[in-house]
């Protein structure tokens, strides 16, 4: 399996699939998952002739479980090392949820020289937590309850999240996939508890407003209007107004995991945007 040894000795697991000479699309996964959560999109685009790259964020999946460095600036510096190693250029960057924050901070901090477009899927920017300046956000008490649940019984909490709000399986009449729940649980339990715990603060309290303003390439924002994890009113609707070249597509009735539940539609939207 391919790994990149980073500046601090940590090893980052990554996938580099498809046509090595094709146009490149990179993927950043959500919390507390791994690159496996993008497998449907990666396989689809690889079969269309693209080169697709995804990594397991440090502390997640098959990457090194570091004690420190579980924060956005470290995560995007890791990405810059990976992209330099893989000679990524003229690419499209895609991120879901926490990974959408990673895409936003990467482009805000390291610039857009490697990328020509980006896609944010159910992404956390501009800011998740409720503040005086962000009244649409979620109360900090909710994120505190996540941390408490992880300390009490992480394994059960990591069943409760995908069984309910993540995929929208708690909605009346929603078809439930036991496979999706088990896959989410398996990916989450492979992530270190320290990284998963620290990342709650990272995805909820990081303010990406300045990063959004600096992104000078076209950005497609895909968001479900029934996203119970990252509500569209506090995220997608606000981000698209801040982005200099943002475009929003709303998925009617869509959950937080539209790339899993509405995979065919998301795949088409990605392909159309990449080719346009």
Residues 169/15, Cβ–Cβ less than 8 Å: no
Query: Any idea of the CA torsion for 18, 38, 120, 162, to the nearest 10 degrees?
Result: 180
Q: Out of 211, 227, 259, 269, which one is annotated catalytic?
A: 227
Give the pair of three-digit tokens for residue 163. Answer: 């069984």
Using H for helix, E for strand and C for coil, what is the string for 244-256?
CCEEEEEECCCCC
Would residue 55 show up in a list of annotated catalytic residues for this protein?
Answer: no
**Cα–Cα distance between 37 and 14 in angstroms, integer?**
13
Q: Out of 36, 256, 259, 269, which one is annotated catalytic?
A: 256
Would residue 227 show up in a list of annotated catalytic residues for this protein?
Answer: yes
Q: Out of 28, 97, 204, 239, which one is annotated catalytic?
A: 97
Contacts of 18 (CB under 8 A, 6+ apart): 42, 45, 46, 47, 49, 50, 51, 52
Contacts of 6 (CB under 8 A, 6+ apart): 12, 58, 78, 81
Beta-strand ranges (E) seen in the chain are: 3-5, 11-18, 24-28, 51-55, 91-96, 115-121, 219-224, 246-251
Would residue 98 show up in a list of annotated catalytic residues for this protein?
Answer: no
**Cα–Cα distance between 268 and 44 in angstroms, integer?**
9
Contacts of 92 (CB under 8 A, 6+ apart): 23, 24, 25, 26, 115, 116, 117, 118, 119, 273, 274
148 to each of 11, 189, 195, 268, how far by Cα in Å? Answer: 29, 16, 15, 39
- List the beta bridge partners of residue 195: none
Q: What positions carry a catalytic annotation?
A: 97, 227, 256
């Amino acid at each position: 399996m391919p790994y990149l040894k980073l500046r601090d000795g940590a090893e980052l697991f990554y996938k580099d699939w498809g046509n090595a000479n094709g146009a490149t699309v990179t993927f950043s996964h959500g919390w507390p998952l791994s690159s496996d959560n993008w497998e449907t999109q990666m396989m689809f685009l690889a079969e269309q002739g693209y080169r697709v790259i995804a990594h397991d964020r440090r502390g997640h999946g098959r990457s090194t479980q570091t004690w420190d460095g579980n924060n956005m600036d470290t995560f995007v510096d890791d990405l810059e090392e990976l992209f330099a190693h893989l000679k990524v250029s003229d690419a499209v960057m895609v991120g879901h949820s926490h990974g959408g924050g990673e895409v936003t901070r990467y482009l805000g901090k390291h610039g857009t020289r490697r990328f020509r477009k980006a896609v944010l899927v159910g992404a956390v920017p501009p800011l998740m937590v409720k503040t005086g300046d962000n009244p649409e956000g979620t109360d900090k008490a909710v994120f505190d309850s996540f941390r408490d649940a992880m300390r009490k019984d992480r394994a059960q909490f990591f069943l409760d999240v995908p069984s309910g709000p993540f995929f929208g399986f708690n909605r009346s009449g929603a078809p439930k996939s036991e496979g999706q729940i088990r896959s989410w649980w398996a990916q989450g339990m492979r992530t270190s508890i320290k990284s998963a715990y620290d990342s709650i603060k990272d995805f909820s309290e990081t303010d990406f407003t300045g990063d959004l303003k600096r992104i000078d390439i076209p950005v497609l924002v895909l968001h479900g209007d029934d996203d119970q994890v990252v509500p569209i009113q506090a995220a997608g609707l606000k981000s698209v107004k801040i982005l200099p070249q943002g475009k929003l597509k709303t998925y009617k009735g869509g959950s937080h995991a539209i790339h899993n539940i509405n995979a065919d539609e998301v795949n088409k939207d990605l392909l159309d945007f990449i080719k346009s």
